[in-house]
Amino acid sequence: MKVVVVGAGMVGHRFADELGRLAPHVDVDVLGDESYEPYNRVMLTELVAGRIDLAGLSLPTPDSGRVRVRAGATALEIDRTRRTVVTADGDFDYDVLVLATGARARVIDVPGLGGTLPRGAHVVRRVDDARDITAATLNASTAVVIGAGPLGVEAACALRHRGVAVTLVAPTGLLARDLDAVVASVARDQATSLGIDVVTGTGVASVGVRDGRVDGVHLDDGRTLATGLVVLACGSVPDTTLAAAAGLETNLGVVVGDDLRCTVDPAVFAIGDCAETPAGVSGLVAPGWAQARALARSLARDEPVELPTIAGSAMRLKAVGMSVVTMGVRSSTALPTDRVVSLADHGARRHVELVARGDTLVGVTCVGSPELAAHLSTQLDRPGMLPADPMQLLMGASGPGAVESASPTTMPAATTVCRCNGVTKGDLVHAWDAGCTTVEALAGSTLATTGCGGCTKLVCGIVDWLQATDPAPSSQTTSGVRETNVPTR
């Protein structure tokens, strides 16, 4: 079977990697329109901030030698009659075609931003976007970021980290989709403490352009923000251009059924940001990865696609100087029978909320306390593990009477360490015993740390613990059974 994947982003890469593991006999060609190998798009603002380089963004190379990632191979046309994808470098025949074309950055429809963006206006969607923004900061003393979702806040913090004076335009408030008003005010205080000017309650009327270059942003309330650097973080739009030209059904995205198969061609599937399932367009990495895994299993085992239920939403801000994490149920959406426990210390720009349902922690909102957020992430959705007094969880792993499950020594094997990829402590230990004895090797084997990066510190701690308890990972015996230096963990 020949499989062609159009799109070498995080979802297309995940699908190819999973299929290569499950069906090593299948030939897979991944066509990417960028000149880079697959990378972690979620971490692009870290590249802008200078806290990571391109190598640090790289995703693990697929294990199977029959998975070929072709960087710079832009798909120009799909010939569904011949079952061929046309590129400038040749045609790729397929038995199964998987569209993972992702999404384009949304550009707001205001005067000054029509057609091609003027010089000085940027989106944050690709490596080259991040590099262009970084280069622009060399000659820019001010910047305006339009849009105050996670990407906008991260971009603002990255620019501020580079010494640029930043104004963040947030018409509906900071992180309004992810935080309740009280918690959002604490996050805003964090941003303000970094020197970011947050403007709320007004939108953008137009972007001023002179001689083809941005020279300011005009707000609905009459104010003008003088600047030569504008970053747009206004959401995304599914990229359906190739699919529509091929005669596939498109709406908001490429229309597919619950089996991820396109409605008019059983040989074509769509996953990730470009796909519109009966549940709609997700626009998030986690559902896209779930689709990638489900489709890979279906093709490898010749069985129906079974999409898992994604347990609640999660947002982890990757911003220099700010710490905001939400997982699962928020207090505003809690059931009447749920118990909400909160700790507010707004003077320290800190606010933590827990939502307990029976004996299970089902929601966490944590602003200003990254260590506690990491601890609480190991407790989420674990029936029977909630202390009788949930306040103990807010004490962290070192407070009086606190639980110790954040320590690798006492952490149960079933504890989820990487929520993006569903990797447990047991998965990491198993990979270690199989010879993956560095963070990088564990990432390649289990995919832990390759999502939002929020679990990296915890994974590093587990590696340190494993090195201390099992400094010489066992080698294979002549019988092929791995011997371990530590009987149990």
Give residue 393's pLDDT. Answer: 83
Helix H or strand E encompassing 100: none
- Residue 115 CB coordination number (10 Å): 6
Per-residue pLDDT, averaged over 299-316, amounts to 81
Q: Is 257 helix (H, G, I), strand (E, B) or coil?
A: coil
Q: How far is CA 304 from CA 16, 96, 295, 479, in A?
A: 18, 15, 9, 38
Fold exhibited by the domain 407-489: Arc Repressor Mutant, subunit A (1.10.10)
**CATH 3.40.50.970 describes domain 121-234:** no
Q: Residue 403: is its pLDDT beyond 70? A: no
CATH of 323-400, one of 3.30.390, 3.90.120, 3.15.10, 3.30.1460: 3.30.390
Model pLDDT for residues 11-22, shown as the tens digit of each residue:
999 999 999 999
Cβ atoms of 133 and 232 within 8 Å: the answer is: no
Tokens, residue 48: 């802008």
Following DSSP, what letter does each residue of 2-53 receive, concatenated? Answer: EEEEE--SHHHHHHHHHHHHH-TTSEEEEE-SSSS--B-GGGHHHHHHTSS-
The residues that bridge with 69 in the sheet, in sequence order, are 30
Q: Residue 311: is its pLDDT beyond 80? A: no
Within 222-266, strands assigned E span 224-226, 230-232, 236-238, 254-255
Q: Would you give the DSSP letter of residue 417?
A: E
- The residue written with tokens 């972690």 in the block is 40
Cβ atoms of 146 and 117 within 8 Å: the answer is: no
Distance CA 104, CA 8 (A): 14
The answer to whether the 121-234 and 407-489 domains have the same CATH topology is: no
Give residue 482's pLDDT. Answer: 30
Per-residue pLDDT, averaged over 162-179, amounts to 94
Tokens, residue 468: 């201390």
Q: What are phi and psi of 414, to 5 degrees?
A: -80, 0
Tokens, residue 348: 């320290």
Per-residue pLDDT, averaged over 204-213, amounts to 96
Cβ atoms of 461 and 408 within 8 Å: the answer is: yes
pTM to 2 decimal places: 0.85
Distance CA 67, CA 212 (A): 44
Cβ atoms of 317 and 153 within 8 Å: the answer is: yes
Is residue 401 very low, low, confident or very high in pLDDT (cuts 50, 70, 90)?
very low
Is residue 402 very low, low, confident or very high in pLDDT (cuts 50, 70, 90)?
very low
Q: Per mean pLDDT, which range of 164-168, 214-218, 274-278, 327-331 is the poorest?
A: 327-331
Q: Residue 9: is its pLDDT beyond 50? A: yes
- Residue scoring higher pLDDT (6 or 452): 6
Q: What are phi and psi of 196, to 5 degrees?
A: -90, 130
Q: How far is CA 450 from CA 92, 166, 335, 338, in A?
A: 29, 29, 33, 33
Distance CA 355, CA 378 (A): 15
Cβ atoms of 322 and 45 within 8 Å: the answer is: no
Domain ranges of the chain: 2-103+237-301, 121-234, 323-400, 407-489
Give residue 471's pLDDT. Answer: 63
Cβ atoms of 184 and 330 within 8 Å: the answer is: no
Give residue 340's pLDDT. Answer: 93
Per-residue pLDDT, averaged over 194-202, amounts to 96
Give residue 447's pLDDT. Answer: 77
Select from 275, 237, 299 the least CA-distant residue to 11: 275
Q: Is 254 helix (H, G, I), strand (E, B) or coil?
A: strand
Model pLDDT for residues 116-164, shown as the tens digit of each residue:
899 999 999 999 999 999 999 999 999 999 999 999 999 999 999 999 9
CATH of 2-103+237-301, one of 3.30.70.270, 3.30.465.10, 3.50.50.60, 1.10.10.10: 3.50.50.60
Model pLDDT for residues 21-48, shown as the tens digit of each residue:
999 999 999 999 999 999 999 999 999 9
Q: Is 311 helix (H, G, I), strand (E, B) or coil?
A: coil
Q: Following CA atoms 156, 162, 163, 165 in sequence, which dihedral angle do they give, to the nearest 10 degrees?
A: -20
- The residue written with tokens 């549940």 in the block is 279
- The residue written with tokens 């990829």 in the block is 421
Q: What percent of the chain clears pLDDT 90, i.e. is strictly above it?
A: 65
Select from 333, 325, 390 the least CA-distant residue to 364: 325
- Residue scoring higher pLDDT (456 or 8): 8
Q: What are phi and psi of 249, to 5 degrees?
A: -75, 130
Cβ atoms of 232 and 147 within 8 Å: the answer is: yes
Q: Residue 232: is its pLDDT beyond 70? A: yes
- Residue scoring higher pLDDT (449 or 243): 243
Distance CA 452, CA 321 (A): 16
Following DSSP, what letter does each residue of 332-401 receive, concatenated? Answer: GG--TTSEEEEEEEGGGTEEEEEEEETTEEEEEEEES-HHHHHHHHTTBT-TT-S-SSTHHHHTTTTSTT
Cβ atoms of 344 and 353 within 8 Å: the answer is: no
